[in-house]
Structure 1
Amino acid sequence: MANVVIAGAGLGGLPTAYELRHYLPSEHRITLISERPKFTFIPGLIRVALGLASVDGIQLDLASLTRRHGINWIPDAVTTVNPHQQYVTVGKQVIEYDYLVIATGASLGFDEVPGLGPHGGYTQSVCTPDHSLAAREAWFKFLENGGPLVVGAMSGAGCFGPAYEFVLMADWVLRRRGIRDRVSITYVSPEPYVGHMGIVGLKNSRELTGRLMKERGIKTIDNARITAINPETIDLENGQQLPFKYAMILPTFRGVKFVRETPGLGNEQGFIPVTNSHQHPQFPTIYAAGVSVHLEQPETTPIAIGLPKTGQMTEVMGAAVAHNIAVELGAIKPPLKTPTLEVLCLAEFGDTGIAYIAAPILPDPETGKRRFSSAIRGRWIIWFKAAFERYFMLKMRWGLGLPWFEKLGLRLLFGLSVLKPLPKENIISCPNHQ
């Protein structure tokens, strides 16, 4: 009997646990570790922060889910990992593993500059349920009087989509309330240009996103590094100072503490290097999925930015991890699989939206080209995203990871594949589990 331990129960961890339960016979144990009692559909937090939705609608109770689907849940956080002796510590417990999947997401660098973040700072965040609820409370107070609104991201932020969604949906809310004329809006970002999104050469993105910002009268500042945040002003490295009455700034992303503190496990930022099978190159019984994975930003920008790892990417990585562990345990037949990293991001902007597609997200290192990429604007994106959220919450209730019909839908609707067989020369085997 093997024990597969999964650290993290978000968009990566919970679907991976479901995939493993689907593949593995019942004698194999699946242990899910998460200090948060609820699964949260993170993309829905922007609507929560703007008072457009309830957090209850995007959360599910992990205790009942895991009990129903035959998964052992430990409601605590991993504090240390020993990759040589293959165990993790959780509080005072020591849990041995045959395979460890790290799907913890990122640690948020609110200590990057003074005054950043909701914990003793002056800006809001939409990265966690608690952050979004605090942001919503501050948002309602802001609506009473208006004033300058600043939305943006720190250098090293790993995903810019939430900042674009927040600033454009905030504009839409203000217009619906008839108070847009009382609010000046500024978008400030380390991206080299508006619409970059952390993805080099994304076709039509610069034009469509930039045009939408101009249509909405939103001032944009790119190539910007935030150096300090005061009670009512944001300082930029170039000496510019931005006044605000409400600010939502995405923090720098880095790896979680137990990864940063384990020698050889992560890089300088605490992100985990992986092979094409999503195993750690030095510790092949450790796999990683989602934001915790190190993916190299393929271009050098004036100010450092991360490569985004979307929810769809995270889910696909988890599906590959589950498949490959099942192959290692002999539960299913080879070959191993690797994620294609073909990405779809559906961004809601109030009364319209943009679908960003990069297939794959990393261009070919030799040619610098992708199979295809595109940005498409339309009202249908709002409806499609809402339908997908409902579907995703249903499949989390049903215990489904990445079912065949979802893969088929991505291929038919958007031309995206998700997994492909891994060539034998790229395989690192785990000799203890052949």
Structure 2
Amino acid sequence: MAQIVIIGAGFGGLSVAYELKHLLRGKHKITLISDEPNFTFIPSLPWVAFNLRKLEQVQLSVKPLLEKQGIHWQQGRVTALDPNEKRVRVGEDITFNYDYLVIATGASLAYELIPGLGPEEGYTQSVCNPHHAEMAREAWNKFLENPGPIVVGGVPGASCMGPAYEFALLADFVLRKKGIREEVPITFISPEPYLGHLGIGGMANSGKLVTELMEQRGIKWVENAEITEIEENQVKLADGQEFPFQYAMFLPPFHGAPFLKEVPGLTDEKGFLPVLDTYQHPDYPSIYSAGVITQLDAPETTEIPLGAPKTGQMTESMAMAVAHNIARELGEIPSRPVKPSLEAICMADFGDTGIIFIAAPVVPDPSIGHRRHATALRGIWVNWAKNVFEWYFLMKMRWGTAVPWFEKLGLFLLRLSLVTPIPETSDQQKDLSRVKG
């Protein structure tokens, strides 16, 4: 019986655990470790910040979900990893040996890179985790008592700019409903070279749709903006511009968890894990990764650094590939190894409208020099679709299933997929043979 350890109880960790439970049919032991007792549907956190959702509505307690599936649960913070001995330490004295390790920790938030950034030691809010979303909500309620300028956006190195657009436009929507929008100027400050770039060179007409919406809502913006410092009630840019604020929300850069960066040669300089097509580590084939912690280079270089986005669907795609390849390694399924398709559907809700972004794949296919297809569509139906998807995803986490057959069918009808077979002639297949040898 193999020992499979998964670190992280987010999109990636739970999806890997559920899919492995399905593929392995109880023949091997699966243990999931997380320092958070709850699964949180992260895409809903902007709603939490504006009192459009209660946090408990978008969270599930992980322990009973896993126990129902026969998956072992260990709550605690991973403090050390020894990939040579194949051992993980939790806290000070709990250790787990593994045959396969899946790292799905998500990322740490690098607020320290910009003076004054962040809700705990700085002056800005965030919606990147549930605790910070609650802090953003409390700050918003206080702001409403004494409204003034709002600034929203991302700092250099930020990735997945969708939540920043959501936050700015939801602020506009909520303030209009309260009848005080005219009292509150909103400015969007972005490291992107243009609105709707999203860290991936844009997709289809995304730039046009986002720009039109910002103009219609009276939101000013600054592109190619390099934030260098944030003081109390003021943002400073490298070009000397300064923007006063009464409320600010900025997306930070991401980096890897400290215990990963402490292992020599395991990660890149930011703490992200390099992977082969199978999503195994190039030097430690017993280690797989899924989600934000995985190294993924931005498809193009921009004047101000931007990270490549890793959406929930991309994370699910990685999780399916990881589970499939581990099951194949264990001899439980007879098939070729697969790689994640890295195709993405991103729904951004703006209150009374929204934009859906579809990119297949997110990073343009190097064999043809572009994406196979991409689109961006706007309408109130996007708001409805995101609400339905929130309900559906939380339900399937309760059911204990990663990707039901009807979800795969829906993706197929949208000309999307989660995984694709790795060609036997792939250079990375050769690399995989080398590390096994």
Are 2:166 and 1:170 aligned?
no
Conservation of the 8 A alpha-carbon contact between 2:193 and 2:224: yes
Q: How does 1:299-338 map to 2 (within 5 A)?
A: 299-338=300-339
- C-alpha separation between the residues in 2 aligned to 1:431 and 1:304? 33
TM-score (norm 2): 0.97
Percent identity reads: 55
1:166-220 CA deviation, whole Å, 9 max, x = no partner? 1001100000111000100000011111111111141100000111011100011
- C-alpha separation between the residues in 1 aligned to 2:297 and 2:37? 32
TM-score (norm 1): 0.97
Please report how far the alpha carbon of residue 347 of structure 1 lies from its aligned counterpart in structure 2 after TM superposition. Answer: 0.8
Summarize the Cα distance change of 1:182–1:431 in structure 2 as closer, same or farther, 3 Å threshold: closer
Letter in 1 for 2:243: L
Please report how far the alpha carbon of residue 87 of structure 1 lies from its aligned counterpart in structure 2 after TM superposition. Answer: 0.9
- C-alpha separation between the residues in 2 aligned to 1:264 and 1:126? 31
- Which residue pairs with 2:55 in the alignment? 55
Are 2:136 and 1:135 aligned?
yes
- C-alpha separation between the residues in 2 aligned to 1:275 and 1:306? 20
SS for the counterpart of 1:266 is: coil
Conservation of the 8 A alpha-carbon contact between 2:282 and 2:435: no
1:239-277 CA deviation, whole Å, 9 max, x = no partner? 111100000011111111111111111111111111111
Q: How does 1:256-271 map to 2 (within 5 A)?
A: 256-271=257-272
- Which residue pairs with 1:65 in the alignment? 65
Summarize the Cα distance change of 1:366–1:338 in structure 2 as closer, same or farther, 3 Å threshold: closer
Q: How does 1:383-422 map to 2 (within 5 A)?
A: 383-412=384-413, 414-422=414-422
Are 2:57 and 1:38 aligned?
no
Q: How does 1:255-294 map to 2 (within 5 A)?
A: 255-294=256-295
- Which residue pairs with 2:185 in the alignment? 184
What stretches of structure 1 of length at least 5 have no aligned partner?
none
1:14-56 CA deviation, whole Å, 9 max, x = no partner? 1110001111132311010101011101111110011111011
Are 2:104 and 1:103 aligned?
yes
Summarize the Cα distance change of 1:83–1:430 in structure 2 as closer, same or farther, 3 Å threshold: farther
- C-alpha separation between the residues in 1 aligned to 2:289 and 2:227? 31
- C-alpha separation between the residues in 2 aligned to 1:62 and 1:124? 27
> Paired residues, what number?
432
- C-alpha separation between the residues in 2 aligned to 1:269 and 1:294? 9
- C-alpha separation between the residues in 1 aligned to 2:102 and 2:367? 31
- C-alpha separation between the residues in 2 aligned to 1:391 and 1:40? 14
What stretches of structure 2 of length at least 5 have no aligned partner?
none
SS for the counterpart of 1:12 is: helix
Summarize the Cα distance change of 1:58–1:201 in structure 2 as closer, same or farther, 3 Å threshold: closer
Q: How does 1:83-162 map to 2 (within 5 A)?
A: 83-91=83-91, 92-162=93-163
RMSD (CA atoms): 1.4
SS for the counterpart of 1:192 is: coil
SS for the counterpart of 1:363 is: coil
- C-alpha separation between the residues in 2 aligned to 1:341 and 1:431? 24
- C-alpha separation between the residues in 2 aligned to 1:105 and 1:28? 25
